[in-house]
Amino acid sequence: MSLLSQFHSIQSLRDALQAKKISATELAIDALQAAQAYPDNALFLHIDQDLTLQQAQAADQSLAANTAGPLTGIPIAHKDLFATQGWRTTASSRMLQDYISPFDATVVGQLRQAGTVSLGKLSCDEFAMGSGNENSAFGAVQNPWDPTRVPGGSSGGSAAAVAAGLVLGATGTDTGGSVRQPAAYCGVSGIKPTYGTVSRYGIIAYASSLDQAGPLARNAQDLVPLLDTMSGFDPQDSTSLETCNGAPNTQGRIQASYQAAQSRFQAAGAQPLKGLRIGVPKEFFNQGLAADVGAAIEAALQAFQALGAQRVDISLPLTRLAIPAYYVIAPAEASSNLSRYDGVRYGHRAAQYTDLADMTRRSRSEGFGEEVRRRILVGTYVLSHGYYDAYYLQAQRVRRMIADDFNRALTHDCDVIMGPVTPSVARRIGDNRQDPIADWLSDIYTLGVSLAGLPGMSIPCGFGGDTQQLPIGLQIVGHYFDEGRLLAIADRYQQATDWHQRTPENI
């Protein structure tokens, strides 16, 4: 049993570190050994023991000087979409196979300054394009609950590492559900904040108007210090927000909002969520939803009602259009963002070519995987002359209408929206290899939230599948800048249930 497996939350580990029951260096050495011995060789793409121990020793110095923060000495790992000094940054692609960034992404720097200890870089779908973590150029990641199943994507490596107990937190990015969906498949908690509240600087771009970083952890309470540290205005990111509902976008905003909501809930007594209106979209409970997932979501909603919340039936009529809108907008932005990989300045360059155009063509064909090439071609097509108005512009109009639907519901009908994260439990590795559109359809419940730029999260709420051993996630969506209250609501549910405490066998 590893040292880290003895601690079930960041707070419990923080208490042990401050009480000098364990040192950050001892913990880091043990965590490195566990990560290197983990049977899924595709999970970690780069581990550097010297870099990790340097951070652990710095954490011990802060602990000894009594200057430690809430995350000092906490083992984490980063999705391989975040630029990191020292560790390779590959986006799980052969295009960037040996690339080492000269700088840290803002999120990486913020977490490092907070005292976290990084174990290295975690696998993801190539350039964040995928829903199963099978599109990595370096192998498919396995779900810790069942090695024959996918962990979800694109942040599947991050979710799997947390579920396997190798780290207490991990960074992810969510473009169309890529934090929430793997969190659901792996039985952990994850949150996508409001677009613009967390810096995108140093995150390898997929779709710039949709990409947003978010953390994954065992429970909602652990997400609070992680997201609070990651948040804040960044002048290096042109999409970063300076204010959130008139208040400065600074570290401490999430923590203050969370604590304020917790205080209100505690004052409410036996029914802490009394007065909370939960909107349940009828479009989320259609024929495409598996019976086991639907039953788990219904049980979770009843648990919230027992805590005092009121269930309200609502409608999000444009839910069915989220998939076509997203899969026009995201590939279009991807075709623009990935055009920089031409074999000239950095990235993979073909060994043999005849001229500049041939070099670019061969370099991209060799460096990009099949799914990335597919989305680039789709994006290039919808942006081409004669199709821009018919596809891209129309998709942007639909995006605005989808956001209006959410805004209308959250302003007039309910305080939060709840429903499933995915239509089914995690599929088997390779199931959709011949039908990539099936993977796109699995994002039906998460895409609208991303298109609207709203905060959304996933928390464990049950199990399903043939063996009843595959996790199911509950999605909670709030209004803009409502992350702190979402986390407090999720925490109240987790105080009344134990789904988040369950771990895979042999973990």
Catalytic annotation, residues: 79, 154, 178
Q: What is d(CA 220, CA 216) in angstroms, rounded to the nearest whole number? A: 9
User: What radius of gyration do the chain's Cα atoms show?
Assistant: 22
Q: What is d(CA 248, CA 338) in angstroms, rounded to the nearest whole number? A: 33
Q: What angle do CA 158, 5, 459 make, to 5 degrees?
A: 45
User: Looking at beta carbons, which pairs linking 245-250 to residues 24 or more positions away fall under 8 Å?
Assistant: 245/480, 245/481, 249/196, 249/197
- Residue 378 CB neighbours (<10 A): 18
Query: Taking Cα atoms as reference points, which of 195, 447, 177 lies closest to residue 316?
Result: 447
Query: Taking Cα atoms as reference points, which of 380, 399, 387 lies closest to residue 324?
Result: 399
Q: What is d(CA 191, CA 194) in angstroms, rounded to the nearest whole number? A: 10
Taking each helix axis from N to C end, the angle separating 253-267 and 220-230, rounded to the nearest 10 degrees, works out to 150
Q: Is the dihedral of CA 426, 333, 192, 137 positive or negative?
A: positive
Q: Which residues pair with 375 in a beta bridge?
A: none
Query: Taking Cα atoms as reference points, which of 78, 166, 154 lies closest to residue 116?
Result: 78
- Residue 82 CB neighbours (<10 A): 28
Written as one string, the DSSP assignment of 316-329 is: -TTGGGHHHHHHHH
Query: Taking Cα atoms as reference points, which of 432, 452, 364 lies closest to residue 150?
Result: 432
* Cβ(87)–Cβ(97) below 8 Å: no
Q: What is d(CA 185, CA 306) in angstroms, rounded to the nearest whole number? A: 26
Q: Which residues pair with 466 in a beta bridge?
A: none
